[in-house]
Structure 1
Amino acid sequence: MARARSAGRGSLLGRLLVLSAVVSLLSIGATAWLAVRTTTRAIQREQGQALTDDAKIYDTLLGYAATHRDWSAVAPVVAQLAGSTGHRVVLTGQAREPIADSASGPLPQQPLTTVDPTDAGNRIDPRAVGPFRLTTAERAGLRQIAARVQSCLREPSTPAPARDGQQRVLPHNVEIVDEPSGRPRLETPGSDLSADTVTCMEGRTALAAPTATEATALQQLDRLVNSCLARQHLPAVTIGLENTWTWADAESARSGRRRNQPVADCLTAGRREQLAGWVAPAALLFVTAPGEQSARRASTLDLSRPNQIRIGAVTGLVLLAAIGVTALVGVRLVRPLRALTAAAGRMRDGDATARVRVTGRDEIARLATAFNDMADRRRHVEQLRHAMVGDIAHEMRTPVTNIRGWLEAAADGVVPLDRELMASLLEEAMLLQHVIDDLQDLSAADAGELRLHPQLVEVAELLPAITDAFTAAADRAGVTLHTTAASALVTVDPIRIRQAVGNLITNAIRHTPSGGRIDIISGTSAGRLRIDVTDTGPGIPPEQQALVFERFWRADKSRSRQTGGSGLGLSIVRKLAEAHAGTVTVTSPPGQGATFRIDLPVAGPPGSQRAGRGSMGR
């Protein structure tokens, strides 16, 4: 036995040590992976930041070129970009002649990009408006028209009905946005204003009409585009705002679908030619980071031979420390577990006093406390079992002995087998049957097999019927029964309620002296049925009131079964009340009798089915 326990301890410690080593190795590996991953992400973030800075520098200079005719005033812009990004920013002409430089030093072999507003990624930068830029007066006029249209769209007055084929859209949110040329534009988030050809059309038409400046620029652009088309022997077009165009005659519109791409190419070429004198010439952009190579070298992970040895030594020390701590913790864990195992073995061998010492407040301490509680409970249950077996044997021995004795006497001819003897034997058999029935009811209740048959019952009819059945017994004992039953319909099993209340009345008759009184009172409150059985007997001492519902318990241990009952009646009452989702309690002022109260839900136990109404449980 001791060898098995020692082997079990070593096995547990071994598993703990192996687990600690595995966890330590995984932790070291995860830490290394996390460090590499973090470094990689830091580098990626630096690269992403560099790309963001490059894009910011390019977009700022591209916007400058789109709104200025030359680079003469770009030096402050370059200096500001260099200060905000920490990079060296250089602009040169196509022949690398310097335009602006935020620092000094040689330039890279290749420029970052070319800054050309007329060719920004195969498109013209939208900020390059050239001759389409509105005058101050034109902007103010269009702004007033846009404000009126915005007010009209937000709160339309007496809307006119839509004609056939037309739609009305009433936007709830209208915003005015200025285009690079200074022309205001209406935006309606969440709705398509172009589909509405009715609402506020007068103001919208006025807002869409070209100004004098735009008309002049469109005429110039028409000449440039049509000159390009004429060289390709294509018909003329009319250019509109926002780079739109239409064929100049209807015949060309019907046959010109396949010529859309040449027109688009000529429109782009014409715009570039028109913008030639309005934007800054193309320039080369150089962006460098001072000390970039040295910083990259400083951030590189050094995996030389000496560094590898240092990493291995640190890993080994961490692993040894983890194993040492695990061994210490494992020993402290195994010691109380061994004590628990030994105590469990003693309990298995019949030692009811086996207990373990509880130290600390951790999980093992709580386990030891639970073990001690279990041992105490087991000892208590075992004592109850012994007492119950003795009580059952005593309760059944008396009637069986009486029956056997009288039958043997009758068989030997000592006493005649007359009606009086037969009545006495029948009474003993009925008492024995009563004990067996009570034990059977308690056994069914303990197993959860106590069946109920709930019915809708009138309490004012049920209680008097129960009391009437005990009138003769009360008269023989010289006790008076009084019943006060309030009218109430409840869902209960009438047979089981008769049994419970009957047990309480029987108990009250047994403990009430001659000339005494027993009151059976019922009432309802807050959805509960209350049945009180009050006697004028000697009462129950306070220290014994918690025991009256225990099986085979008697207040006077010296009383016989004939005078004290089987000791199961009140236990059955408690089980029947619990089966109805109720309770039974007792109150007994010293020397003033006892009151037993059954408290049940009016609606019946959970899941009960209401059968037909019954008055007496039949």
Structure 2
Amino acid sequence: MSRPVPPHRSLVVRLLGTSVLIVVLSVGTAAWLAAKTATRAVQEERSQSLAGDSQIYDTLLGFAATHPGWDGVELTVRHLGEETGRQITLTTMQGEPIATTHPGGTLPGRPAAILDPLDTTTGIIDPRAVGPYRLSPQDQALQRARAEKRMDCLLKQGTPATLVEQPSGRSVVRLAARIPRLRMDCTSGENEPTTVEAFALKALWRKTADCLSYRHLNPVEINVDFSWWYKDTEQRGSSQDIQDCVSAARRDQLRPYVAPPAHLYLSSSVRPPTPVFELSAASTLRIAGATAFVLLAAVTATLVVGMRLVRPLRTLTAAADGAALRPAPVTIARNDEIGRLAGAFNDLAARSERSEVQRRTMVNDIAHELRSPLTNIRNWLTAGQDGLADLDQDLVTLLLEESGLLQHIVADLADLAEADAGTLALHPDRYFVAGLLVQVIEAHRGAAERCGVTLHHTVTADPEAVVDSARFRQIVGNLLANAIRHTPGGGHVSVRARVEAGHLVVEVADTGEGIAVADLPHVFDRFWRADKARTRATGGSGLGLSIARKLAQAHGGDITAVSALGVGSTFAVRVPVPARLGS
């Protein structure tokens, strides 16, 4: 019986202690760091990062994209300063002040950003810079009506679509990512340029054509969304060069309509910073409450997980302790390491049960096989002692045959025991296979003639092998005796030997009764007979094939069998041949 697990060794206690330690350290460290560094880290990040001032940058960039100059930006700068609490200063690229929230203040060492809606460094033009492409109210209403007509057509066909108004006043229909096949064309002319857009696009086309001509490229047509295409489909050119020309022409066309580039300077807030976290009594209480909550949650989770881990382990322990001789299978439906352990435990229990059944069967078979010759010997000796039989030469011969059979069974069992224990002694040496096979065949020729069975053998190139000659003859002899026993009169048994793929292959084939497919996996089992009606006298001891296979495996090889009912069987011995011999 297993002893109780001490508390300090328990898996639940270890998990619980680990969780508590981790939670206490993590929560305590996080609280201390938050109390000491949160305010300064947040304020420094806000003063140094442009991402925190995206509202200022986007608002001023939008002003530049929609105004031809910076006149009137002072009000916008003052409003942004009041809203964000930052010191904002706007200067020209030469450093002349345009607008500031705090006149006379000291500027930072370098600007936070450059405000240019026609940014030439990244190649991105702000979409709010529309210039001569802004639609008049009449054109805007007409073009929107066309777009709405197309969207209604799409919606009637079940195609999701939305209407988006661009900064120029043009309405664009946005379709879903996946568009089903339309039953009817919904084009309503919404993509056609208006009078204002056509005039501006013509001017843009001329500027682009000049650039393309300078680069020795053919002119292209430009759409209202500034995409381009070749009117002559056979024309080709560098797409990047063409796009560069279109973008450069747009910047040149839009430059009079937007404000010139300017430097944006951002400084720290002039207002006293408001701490986002302070270690007051209330804050300390909140930290303690949060720590207690997290600790309670960790302890609860650890207990639940620990009990789920321990419960199947206790089931396995109880099953192992409750088994008198062999472990009983357990039912644990888990798909994790413990489930795999339970599966291995059940496999062990099943193998133990099979081994026990085989052991009982083997003991019964051994007792049966030994009982027959012992009973015959005892009966004849008792008859001779009682004067019921004469102890003549025939009786002595019979007793010697019975004792020989008994000795043969005992010797076979001893060979199997040595093979199972791995103590089977071999004395390998170099031998020519043909000579060994002739010895075996001649030893069994008399038994074959008595049964009316013809023996013949074939050896290809008389291969040489490193084997224990006595054990090798025993392997082939057992297979030959089995073949003769199961071949009716007039049949043939052939022995063939060759070298194949670095192995010596010896095949013993007969034209006997054959073995059923269902019985073939059991032919090497101990005391197994295909015909249960066969006795020891007619069917052998049932150990010959088992011993032959063990001896072949001791040589580093194996034996395989193929058979067909009514046709015959072939047993093949494969033993590795050293490379220097095989060559």
**TM-score band (shorter)?**
0.5 to 0.7
Corresponding residue for 1:459?
433
* Residue 485 (1) aligns with residue 459 (2): yes
In the TM superposition, residue 385 of structure 1 has moved relative to its aligned partner by: 0.4
Look up the equivalent residue of 1:514 and give its one-letter code: G
- Distance (whole Å) between structure 1 residues aligned to residue 576 and residue 281 of structure 2: 83
Partner of 1:469: helix, strand, or coil? Answer: helix
Corresponding residue for 2:288?
312
- Distance (whole Å) between structure 1 residues aligned to residue 333 and residue 290 of structure 2: 37
* Residue 338 (1) aligns with residue 314 (2): yes
Corresponding residue for 1:367?
341
Corresponding residue for 1:20?
19
Give 2:534's match in structure 1, choosing from 536, 559, 575: 559
Asked whether the equivalents of residues 539 and 591 of structure 1 are also in contact (C-alpha less than 8 Å), the reply is yes
In the TM superposition, residue 26 of structure 1 has moved relative to its aligned partner by: 3.8
1:447-491 deviation line (CA, Å, top 9, x unaligned): 122222222221222222221111111112221111111121222
Partner of 2:509: helix, strand, or coil? Answer: strand
- Distance (whole Å) between structure 2 residues aligned to residue 493 and residue 40 of structure 1: 87
- Distance (whole Å) between structure 1 residues aligned to residue 491 and residue 291 of structure 2: 90
Asked whether the equivalents of residues 5 and 338 of structure 1 are also in contact (C-alpha less than 8 Å), the reply is no
Look up the equivalent residue of 1:411 and give its one-letter code: Q
- Distance (whole Å) between structure 2 residues aligned to residue 34 and residue 545 of structure 1: 75
In the TM superposition, residue 6 of structure 1 has moved relative to its aligned partner by: 11
Asked whether the equivalents of residues 496 and 508 of structure 2 are also in contact (C-alpha less than 8 Å), the reply is yes
Corresponding residue for 2:208?
none
Corresponding residue for 2:370?
396
In the TM superposition, residue 583 of structure 1 has moved relative to its aligned partner by: 1.9
- Distance (whole Å) between structure 1 residues aligned to residue 550 and residue 365 of structure 2: 19
* Residue 384 (1) aligns with residue 358 (2): yes
Partner of 1:594: helix, strand, or coil? Answer: strand
In the TM superposition, residue 390 of structure 1 has moved relative to its aligned partner by: 0.4
Corresponding residue for 2:403?
429
Give 1:590's match in structure 2, choosing from 560, 565, 568: 565
Give 2:510's match in structure 1, choosing from 525, 532, 535: 535
Asked whether the equivalents of residues 35 and 279 of structure 2 are also in contact (C-alpha less than 8 Å), the reply is no
**How is 1:198-209 mapped onto 2 (pairs within 5 angstroms)?**
none
1:152-171 deviation line (CA, Å, top 9, x unaligned): xxxxxxxxxxxxxxxxxxxx
Corresponding residue for 1:576?
551
Structure 2 regions of 5+ residues with no counterpart? 49-86, 90-96, 107-265
- Distance (whole Å) between structure 1 residues aligned to residue 532 and residue 374 of structure 2: 21
Corresponding residue for 1:408?
382
Are residues 379 and 292 of structure 1, via their aligned partners in 2, closer, same or farther at CA, if it must alter by over 3 Å? same
Corresponding residue for 1:473?
447
Residues matched between the structures, number: 383
**How is 1:74-223 mapped onto 2 (pairs within 5 angstroms)?**
none
Look up the equivalent residue of 2:509 and give its one-letter code: T
Asked whether the equivalents of residues 521 and 532 of structure 1 are also in contact (C-alpha less than 8 Å), the reply is yes
Look up the equivalent residue of 2:399 and give its one-letter code: L
In the TM superposition, residue 510 of structure 1 has moved relative to its aligned partner by: 0.9
Corresponding residue for 2:329?
355
Are residues 311 and 518 of structure 1, via their aligned partners in 2, closer, same or farther at CA, if it must alter by over 3 Å? same
Look up the equivalent residue of 1:585 and give its one-letter code: T
In the TM superposition, residue 320 of structure 1 has moved relative to its aligned partner by: 0.5
Corresponding residue for 2:482?
507
- Distance (whole Å) between structure 1 residues aligned to residue 297 and residue 306 of structure 2: 14
Corresponding residue for 2:121?
none
More displaced 10-residue stretch of structure 1: 508-517 or 306-315:
306-315
* Residue 549 (1) aligns with residue 548 (2): no
Asked whether the equivalents of residues 485 and 522 of structure 1 are also in contact (C-alpha less than 8 Å), the reply is yes
Are residues 31 and 386 of structure 1, via their aligned partners in 2, closer, same or farther at CA, if it must alter by over 3 Å? farther
Are residues 294 and 522 of structure 1, via their aligned partners in 2, closer, same or farther at CA, if it must alter by over 3 Å? farther
Give 1 or 2 for the bigger CA radius of gyration: 1
Structure 1 regions of 5+ residues with no counterpart? 50-85, 89-100, 108-288, 611-618
1:425-459 deviation line (CA, Å, top 9, x unaligned): 22122211111111111111111222222222212
Asked whether the equivalents of residues 459 and 486 of structure 1 are also in contact (C-alpha less than 8 Å), the reply is no
1:215-239 deviation line (CA, Å, top 9, x unaligned): xxxxxxxxxxxxxxxxxxxxxxxxx
Look up the equivalent residue of 2:19 and give its one-letter code: S
1:503-556 deviation line (CA, Å, top 9, x unaligned): 000111111112211000111122122111011111001000000001111111
Are residues 590 and 310 of structure 1, via their aligned partners in 2, closer, same or farther at CA, if it must alter by over 3 Å? same
In the TM superposition, residue 571 of structure 1 has moved relative to its aligned partner by: 0.7
- Distance (whole Å) between structure 1 residues aligned to residue 383 and residue 567 of structure 2: 47
Look up the equivalent residue of 1:478 and give its one-letter code: G
Asked whether the equivalents of residues 31 and 287 of structure 2 are also in contact (C-alpha less than 8 Å), the reply is no
In the TM superposition, residue 577 of structure 1 has moved relative to its aligned partner by: 1.7
Look up the equivalent residue of 2:430 and give its one-letter code: L
Look up the equivalent residue of 1:435 and give its one-letter code: I
Look up the equivalent residue of 2:576 and give its one-letter code: P
Partner of 2:567: helix, strand, or coil? Answer: coil
TM-score for the superposition, normalised by structure 2: 0.57
Corresponding residue for 1:522?
497
Partner of 2:572: helix, strand, or coil? Answer: strand
Asked whether the equivalents of residues 457 and 495 of structure 2 are also in contact (C-alpha less than 8 Å), the reply is yes
Asked whether the equivalents of residues 9 and 334 of structure 1 are also in contact (C-alpha less than 8 Å), the reply is no
More displaced 10-residue stretch of structure 1: 27-36 or 571-580:
27-36
- Distance (whole Å) between structure 2 residues aligned to residue 35 and residue 472 of structure 1: 100
Are residues 443 and 389 of structure 1, via their aligned partners in 2, closer, same or farther at CA, if it must alter by over 3 Å? same
Are residues 496 and 8 of structure 1, via their aligned partners in 2, closer, same or farther at CA, if it must alter by over 3 Å? farther
1:402-428 deviation line (CA, Å, top 9, x unaligned): 222222333333333332222222212
In the TM superposition, residue 393 of structure 1 has moved relative to its aligned partner by: 0.8
- Distance (whole Å) between structure 2 residues aligned to residue 37 and residue 306 of structure 1: 16
Look up the equivalent residue of 2:16 and give its one-letter code: L
In the TM superposition, residue 303 of structure 1 has moved relative to its aligned partner by: 3.1
- Distance (whole Å) between structure 1 residues aligned to residue 409 and residue 7 of structure 2: 52
In the TM superposition, residue 38 of structure 1 has moved relative to its aligned partner by: 9.2
- Distance (whole Å) between structure 1 residues aligned to residue 539 and residue 104 of structure 2: 117
* Residue 498 (1) aligns with residue 473 (2): yes
- Distance (whole Å) between structure 1 residues aligned to residue 430 and residue 313 of structure 2: 58
1:279-303 deviation line (CA, Å, top 9, x unaligned): xxxxxxxxxx9549989x7789743
Are residues 599 and 105 of structure 1, via their aligned partners in 2, closer, same or farther at CA, if it must alter by over 3 Å? same
Look up the equivalent residue of 2:493 and give its one-letter code: I
Partner of 2:508: helix, strand, or coil? Answer: strand
Asked whether the equivalents of residues 451 and 489 of structure 2 are also in contact (C-alpha less than 8 Å), the reply is yes
Look up the equivalent residue of 1:553 and give its one-letter code: W
**How is 1:65-76 mapped onto 2 (pairs within 5 angstroms)?**
none
- Distance (whole Å) between structure 2 residues aligned to residue 106 and residue 553 of structure 1: 106
Asked whether the equivalents of residues 326 and 353 of structure 2 are also in contact (C-alpha less than 8 Å), the reply is no
Partner of 2:320: helix, strand, or coil? Answer: helix
Partner of 2:457: helix, strand, or coil? Answer: strand
Instruction: Calculate the aligned-residue CA RMSD, in Å.
Output: 4.3
Look up the equivalent residue of 1:331 and give its one-letter code: M
Corresponding residue for 1:324?
300
Asked whether the equivalents of residues 431 and 469 of structure 2 are also in contact (C-alpha less than 8 Å), the reply is yes
- Distance (whole Å) between structure 2 residues aligned to residue 406 and residue 558 of structure 1: 25
